[in-house]
Amino acid sequence: MTLPLGTVPFLFLQIGLLVLVFSIGYLTGRDGKVSAAETDGAEIELQSRGGGPGNVRQGNAGGSQAPLTTPRPADDGSQAVGPPAASEADLAFRDPLNTFTVVVFTAENSDFGEQRAWAVHEYLNGKGYPVVQPLLWKGEVKIFVGAAQSKGSLKEIEARIRKDPGPNGGRPFYDAYVDKTERFR
């Protein structure tokens, strides 16, 4: 059988169609949903004392942090309450004199991403790290640990977090890094 266009133009047409189909699928499939199959069967347990999904604070490059309008569930499940009170770590993070922090965790801005962020927050808080409440920044949910006036002050925390085995083993925070707080406030 002979192709009316020839072999080479036909292959380019097929590659072009393939790229077009994947592009359309990528653009329409970015709704932030994660299926159970994508979680590798891992369960996330939220034993939150102060926050939960729908209660991520927003931060942006030019504005201030503000809680999302969705209230967090009450600890006893009876009624919705406002955002949790700021911890010492939150206040230190907001202090303009503290110009550096450790970026520990980033997830997409979705219900699943928020649940993961709160689970990480609770884990790190339980380990005694000065963890900041999850912040929404440029479409991502982020977790920060510590705040200081110099990078050197955070090197010990950064090294400890990178070696931390996490709740399920491994080293889930191996890529933690020090960054300027002004980017995320």
- The whole-number pLDDT of residue 18 equals 83
- Is pLDDT above 60 for 179? yes
Q: How many CA atoms lie within 13 A of 174 on its CB side?
A: 5
Instruction: At 81, list the tokens.
Output: 């309450």
- Is pLDDT above 90 for 69? no
Structure confidence at residue 47 as a pLDDT band (50, 70, 90) = very low
- The whole-number pLDDT of residue 84 equals 67
- Model pLDDT for residues 127-145, shown as the tens digit of each residue: 999 999 999 988 899 999 9
Q: How far apart are CA 29 and CA 43, in angstroms?
A: 24
Q: What angle do CA 36, 40, 46 make, to 5 degrees?
A: 70
- Model pLDDT for residues 7-29, shown as the tens digit of each residue: 888 888 889 888 888 777 767 66
Give the residue ranges of DSSP H helices in the chain: 7-28, 88-94, 111-126, 155-163
Average pLDDT, the chain: 75
Which of 74, 31, 72 lies closest to 53, judged by CA? 72
- The whole-number pLDDT of residue 22 equals 79
- Is pLDDT above 90 for 37? no
- Is pLDDT above 70 for 80? no
- Model pLDDT for residues 108-130, shown as the tens digit of each residue: 999 999 999 999 999 999 999 99
Q: How far apart are CA 151 and CA 99, in angstroms?
A: 9
Domains and CATH numbers, the chain: 56-63+79-183 (3.30.70.1070)
**Residue bearing the bigger pLDDT, 5 or 71:** 5
